[in-house]
Chains A and B, each alone.
Chain A
Amino acid sequence: MPTRRSFLRTVAGGIALANAGVMARRARAELPQGTVDSAVRDTLPGKQPLIKRSFRPPNYESPVQYLDDVITPNDRFFVRWHLSNIPHIDADSWRLHVGGEAAERGFELTMDQLKHDFEPVELVAVCQCAGNRRGFSEPHVPGVEWGYGAMGNARWKGARLKDILARAGLKKDAVEIAFNGSDRAPLEGTPVFAKSIPAWKAMDENTLIAYEMNGAPLPHWNGFPARIVVPGWTATYWMKQVVSIRALSQPLASFWMNTAYRIPKGKFPIIDRFTSQESETTTPITEILVSSLMTNVGDGRRFAADQPVLIKGIAWDGGYGIRAVDVSVDEGRSWQSAELGENHGKYSFRTWQFTYVPRAAGRVSVMARASNSQGTSQPSELIFNGAGYHNNVVQTIVIDIV
């Protein structure tokens, strides 16, 4: 059986010949060879086997087939940590510290208080690592070389951050709300993983401190006992094992805000801006760009020429809502509408399906392209940036009709 890599090489060559180079221009993105070589299926306690990218800190992505359902089960949800000392937290002794110089008063919450003093809210939202699909960047850039699965979609239950901030009393000069987790690096000199979001985003009614995920306590690996949920924004802000929430009158100064997780200004179709952290040339990554993924077919799959081929997938964006998913089976020359599945809310995956009826035997490139209510759709060419963020290039899968 050919490997994915050798298969793609053969396919790319064959189709380039057959179609006067159409495919050659759209060269297929591949993970680095070292990424392929070092990946193994590994099972963290309480999880199904995931694709291990790094053991320590643990960075594990979901195989694409785990994303075939609209809700990603907790034991199939991806795992991403920056620092390797991740304590096992006892929910009874856990405390959430709320305060900061831009808060009128500071206080502590127990888990019981978090659950009972504030109205519980439930919503479905995509948690997508900012670096999802970094491994497909051309040229490759250093970092965790994620494929397609550094994301998942869950029903989160928790308290509104704005309700907790109301108890603290935000002062007029509150500019950002900062979060600290419990994870630590082995060395004291490593910057603590702290993140902030604009005060206006913290006051959004959908921004939560979640203590349940899909009707169960958060898994340890996904931030037990509580994590921040920032629907529509990339997961870098979704602080796991959160223990501190601070209202700041000055922008948070830290490596993880000022250097990491930044994108070039003006290159991406972004609406939500994080102005207090912008520099002349870069800005923090904010909202998730519109994207889609085919989940039930993979490269090299063979289908009978006289049978309809069902293609299933998911589409999502930063909370504007998926308007359409279009599928092409002719190298992107023509597009047909896929059928959208049930709507679970504007921050959720939206499932879709498309039935392709092959007319003849041969190799077929299947492409899927989502667009949202803003009229934004996925690009056909990568918008390169040095950290490999926001890779939402239209996905292509090559199948064989035999």
Chain B
Amino acid sequence: MNIKKRFGPALLFSCLAMSAYGGESSIQLATGAQTALVQLRCSTCHSLDYIVMNSSFLARAAWDAEVRKMMKVMGAPIPENDVAPIVDYLTQQYGTK
């Protein structure tokens, strides 16, 4: 997969920014079928501890609303086809128990 083609220069810029916050490499997301997809789609603008911090009290509809807020309000370029697998993962691993 060509990362630059999928995200353009924005992702590269964020990687540079990320180097200033080395601690985030310690964040371990729960292993699931979509872990890599979530890491790819959710880490351009923020560290993944946002996900863990917001658990476990959001039901599927609330996680769906969060993902769509990132797309519609924050401008995250998440393809529609990726939304359901991302929300599935967040609900399963970090949703209301």
Tell me the A residues contacting B by CB distance below 8 Å.
Answer: 32-35, 37-40, 42, 52-58, 83-85, 139-140, 142-145, 185-191, 255, 259
A54 engages B74 (CB within 8 Å): no
Nearest-neighbor residue (CB-CB) of B12 within chain A:
A186
A190 touches B75 (CB 8 A): yes
B39 at interface, CB cutoff 8 A = no
Find the B residue at minimum CB distance from A58. B21
Asked if A186 and B62 sit within 8 Å, CB to CB, the answer is no
A-B CB contact pairs (8 Å), 16 listed: A33-B56, A34-B53, A34-B54, A34-B55, A34-B56, A40-B26, A42-B23, A55-B49, A56-B17, A58-B21, A84-B18, A186-B17, A187-B76, A189-B77, A190-B75, A259-B73
Query: Is the Cβ of A84 less than 8 Å from the Cβ of B76?
Result: no
Contact across chains for A56 and B10 when beta carbons are under 8 A apart: no
**Which are the 3 A-B pairs with shortest beta-carbon distances?**
A189-B75, A34-B55, A186-B14
Could you say which residues of chain B place their CB within 8 Å of the CB of A143?
A: 54
- The answer to the question of B1 belonging to the interface, with a C-beta cut-off of 8 Å to chain A, is no
Q: B73 contacts which chain A residues (CB < 8 A)?
A: 191, 255, 259
Q: How distant is the Cα of A255 from the Cα of B75 in the complex, in angstroms? A: 12
How many angstroms from the CA of A181 to the CA of B77 in the assembled complex? 25
CA distance A34 to B62 in the complex (A): 16
Of B23, B49, B66, most A-chain CB atoms within 10 Å: B49
B91 at the interface (CB under 8 A from A): no
Contact between A190 and B74, CB atoms less than 8 A apart: yes
Q: Which of B32-69 contact A (CB under 8 A)?
A: 44-47, 49-50, 52-58, 62, 66
11 extra interface residue pairs, beta carbon distance < 8 Å, beyond A54-B47, A185-B74 = A32-B53, A38-B27, A54-B49, A55-B49, A83-B45, A84-B18, A84-B45, A85-B17, A142-B62, A186-B11, A255-B73
In angstroms, Cα B55 to Cα A145, docked, is 10
Contact B45 A53 (CB under 8 A): no
Partner of B74, one of A32, A56, A139, A187: A187
Report the minimum CB–CB distance from B28 to chain A (whole Å).
Answer: 10
Q: Does B82 contact A (CB under 8 A)?
A: no
Q: How many residues of B contact A (CB 8 A)?
A: 32
Binding site for A on B (CB under 8 A): 10-11, 13-14, 17-18, 21, 23-24, 26-27, 44-47, 49-50, 52-58, 62, 66, 73-77, 94
Report A83 CB to chain B, min CB distance, Å.
8
Cβ-neighbour of B54 out of A40, A42, A142 (below 8 A): A142
Residues of chain B lying within 8 A (CB to CB) of residue A83: 45
- A83–B76 CA distance with the chains assembled, in angstroms: 13
Residue in chain B with minimal CB distance to A185: B45
Contact B74 A55 (CB under 8 A): no
| Residue in A40, A58, A190 whose beta carbon sits within 8 Å of that of B45 in the complex | A190
- Known: A54-B47, A55-B24, A56-B17. Contact between A189 and B54, CB under 8 A? no
Q: How far is the CB of B55 from chain A (nearest CB, A)?
A: 3
**B73 → A minimal CB distance (Å):** 6
**Contact partners of B77 in chain A: CB under 8 A:** 187, 189
CA distance A233 to B97 in the complex (A): 37
- Chain A residues with Cβ below 8 Å from B54 are 32, 34-35, 142-143, 145
Q: How far is the CB of B62 from chain A (nearest CB, A)?
A: 7
Say how far B46's CB is from chain A's closest CB, in angstroms: 6
Residue of A nearest to B65 (CB): A142
Contact A188 B10 (CB under 8 A): yes
Please measure, in the bound complex, the distance between the C-alpha atom of A166 and the C-alpha atom of B64, giving whole angstroms: 48
The answer to whether B24 touches A56, judged by C-beta atoms less than 8 angstroms apart, is yes
- In whole angstroms, what is the CA distance A33 to B95 when docked? 12
Chain A residues within an 8 Å CB radius of B58: 142
Are A55 and B27 interface neighbours, CB within 8 A? Answer: yes
* Cβ–Cβ contact A187 & B21, under 8 A: no
Are A38 and B53 interface neighbours, CB within 8 A? yes
CA A364 – CA B63 in complex, angstroms? 39
Residues on the B chain within 8 Å of A85, using CB: 13-14, 17
Contact yes or no, A40 B23, CB < 8 A: yes
Residues in B whose Cβ lies below 8 Å from that of A52: 23, 49
* Complex contact B55–A189 (CB within 8 A): no
Given the known interface contacts A139-B57, A191-B73, the answer about A56 and B18 at a Cβ–Cβ threshold of 8 Å is yes
Are A54 and B55 closer than 8 Å at their CB atoms?
A: no
Q: Whole-angstrom distance from the CB of A388 to the nearest CB of chain B?
A: 11
Query: When chains A and B are docked, how far (Å) is the Cα of A344 from the Cα of B38?
Result: 49
